[in-house]
Structure 1
């Protein structure tokens, strides 16, 4: 029995050696067909909008530091500690990021699965049965069994399997960039909702202040009517003004509540389970300078552009797979089995090389390759369009920030003038020099200017958030950072 086992191992070793030698020769002569992917060249543009990039002389205007990159979390530029706390809670609890994380792990597993095709495939086969043999005067019945391994190896002479692995790796990269895009969208939306919540609170406070003025005016009008200096018409005007101003509170309260609910959902909680803090508009600081990376660097900073690049790489790998399908495939196989029957046992081994090559398929393979080439051209056009759209978005936001500074200056002047007019009209009314109607009109102008100032301030903050997002928010690589953080904080086994 020991001699038989040594013979078996020797036979299998000889077959494996031959297979390895043939495989080595084939690999040395193999080539990988199809295009080798190269990242698209950086944009030759050096500006987004030259006019918008120039320094603005408007008081309080923001400055753009062209050619500089953002460091750290982008929202820290708003200098709100409560916003920092909110972002940590949102990033840790958001279910979209949880789903994106699981999708990345799924893509990584598929990469590992596709890489298995590059290695020999070893299977174990076993068979048992009972057979009847008519090879003599008396039929015989015996038990039959065989067991042993089988090795198969696709030489991948033209790199079809390698291109398939390349495509799966590009798909895994695509999922990472989708995680980054979801992270950027999440943090941007959380900041936006926090600003809308703060704006609603500020506007409600302003309206309540104006309602107090309306109530005071109404009391004065009623006193004047009793003294005979005003008519019922004047009192009715004051009552109408108070009623009209009260109608502004419910929409603002709805804006506040909607923002609160949105923040709860972003944090992965129901509105009844967690309530976001009440932000105040004054706690956000408008950044005086914003670093703006150059167009040539933008393709490496925005996750949507990196997604388009990964899709382009997937399309490139598909061309390689379709090209390899036009060429022959060679597979080596070897098997070793220990078989036995009623008449005895024996070691059986085999070695084979198989070749398959397309001869006629009605043009299917060539058409599939052409389709993959066309798919690559379409992916390249989408990539270029994504880059152009990003440039347009940044240019729009730069202009919005500049125009926001101009509008803020004009709104401040309007508020100052309305405040002066209201004070003078109140003084004139107290001295009997003008009518209550003039006071109410001055009050309305002041109200419009005050609420307008709050809205302009909100819009300027939102424009800054939009620019940070348009520049990529320094979010490329956040998945790796999150993965490293999880690995560091994993509980140690007892």
Structure 2
């Protein structure tokens, strides 16, 4: 009975320590409240015109680039997702961060070590000095009760860091798909403009030949010949930049797919292979924070900062550890089993203000990160608003270019009819053709801007990229499960 009474206070103390171990100091992280705003730019939302309409309140679903209805684009995007080296690096970084979480979680469990020691010793304080062999072998167990949750906050911090890396992967995925679509459209635009410029150069050449013939016949002067030569030379300068745009875009696509420009050549794209999405889903501002990887990154960074406050706060409180050991030891011809059990407490008394300053620094770091998060959210709203306005202005410019192109086409037709009836010269027809080709170039450029700004809108809305890493992991594990 007596021994049971002696053991009762130990049980009470141990129960109290276990109860305290459930206490975790510091703030529990909560996702900041969503923005109450329901609009990005009401004027842009209400007046988006032309061929496109926005569906406010709807989210981008599936593979956003499929809205352009280009099988070639679908193939290149899939190739880029499978081969892009930045995604491969981001994937490995996430797995590295996951191992850091597992390492941090290990501190929540008892730590078991096994030790062995052997040696030879001489005893001097005996009646007769003696020399003997000795050894000790056995396990040792240590356990940090984590009374105030410092280790738990470290695990939380590492998990938030893993979330951060996951969202960085999603951001890289979003950037990649946006870049592939943009570069493909730039190839298509360059090809269309090169075709128009080549027709323009044919027209300039004919014009120069006619002026030179007129000079021989005495119907014009050398000034007109010089003007025609200057026009042809100036228009020839349009081709090299367009060819460079096309080739640079091809090389960019090769690199995006994880290949060198000589190892894989991107297909030729043409504008008539794309369709401009007529209805574009635009999620509400209150939902955008959940759809954009950069906002989710900022949220993960805020979570890391919150956990850091918990770690710094836990450092202000005592640490309680338990340890036990069991060893088989022997010296000379004698041996015995040795065991031990101990509880330890370490509490800061005076640190010169270091721990308190570290806690306050963590709090201020959280406040700074919170402001950064809020700025990221606001900037995302601005990016969507800017892109909506860009699409709106593209539509206005497209209508103006349509009118200019139709007017140039009408002028060309009338000049051709007048020439057939002998009412004007071939030079007037060629000038009308040249005006038409220049209007066509402007039409191609504004049409390209419509496509590119639509791509940017999909990217600004997050491109349905949240969760793509989990999909990658699932697709990677699916073949392994099929063989089991």
Give the drift of 1:493: 7.0
Change (3 A) 1:151 1:20: farther
Tell me what 1:28 maps to. 19
Q: How does 1:335-484 map to 2 (within 5 A)?
A: 335-425=325-415, 442-484=432-474
Give the drift of 1:245: 1.4
Q: How does 1:28-177 map to 2 (within 5 A)?
A: 28-30=19-21, 31-56=23-48, 58=49, 60-177=50-167
Give the drift of 1:485: 0.3
In structure 2, distance between residues paired with 1:224 and 1:431: 20
Give the drift of 1:21: 8.5
**Long gaps (5+) in structure 2:** 1-8
In structure 2, distance between residues paired with 1:45 and 1:406: 27
DSSP 3-state at the match of 1:300: helix
Tell me what 1:192 maps to. 182
DSSP 3-state at the match of 2:466: coil
Tell me what 1:10 maps to. none
Give the drift of 1:29: 2.7
Tell me what 2:4 maps to. none
Tell me what 1:9 maps to. none
Give the drift of 1:244: 1.9
In structure 1, distance between residues paired with 2:144 and 2:449: 61
Give the drift of 1:347: 0.4
Q: Is the 8 A contact 1:339 1:346 kept in 2?
A: yes
In structure 1, distance between residues paired with 2:349 and 2:125: 45
In structure 1, distance between residues paired with 2:149 and 2:298: 24
DSSP 3-state at the match of 1:489: helix
In structure 1, distance between residues paired with 2:140 and 2:11: 14
Give the drift of 1:357: 0.5
Match of 1:317 among 301, 307, 319: 307
Q: Is the 8 A contact 2:207 2:427 kept in 1?
A: no
Q: Is the 8 A contact 2:200 2:434 kept in 1?
A: no
Q: Is the 8 A contact 1:234 1:436 kept in 2?
A: no
Change (3 A) 1:178 1:206: same
Q: Is the 8 A contact 1:336 1:347 kept in 2?
A: yes
In structure 2, distance between residues paired with 1:19 and 1:89: 65
Say if 2:205 is the partner of 1:218: no
Q: Is the 8 A contact 1:61 1:402 kept in 2?
A: no
Q: Is the 8 A contact 1:234 1:437 kept in 2?
A: no
Counting matched residue pairs gives 476
Q: Is the 8 A contact 1:125 1:148 kept in 2?
A: yes
Give the drift of 1:492: 7.1
Say if 2:264 is the partner of 1:274: yes
For 1:57-93, what per-residue CA distance to the aligned partner results, in whole angstroms no more than 9, with x for missing partners? x4x3311101111110110001100000000110111
Q: Is the 8 A contact 1:203 1:451 kept in 2?
A: yes
**RMSD across aligned positions (CA):** 2.2
Say if 2:262 is the partner of 1:251: no
Change (3 A) 1:179 1:40: same
DSSP 3-state at the match of 2:290: coil
In structure 1, distance between residues paired with 2:163 and 2:10: 36
In structure 2, distance between residues paired with 1:338 and 1:284: 79
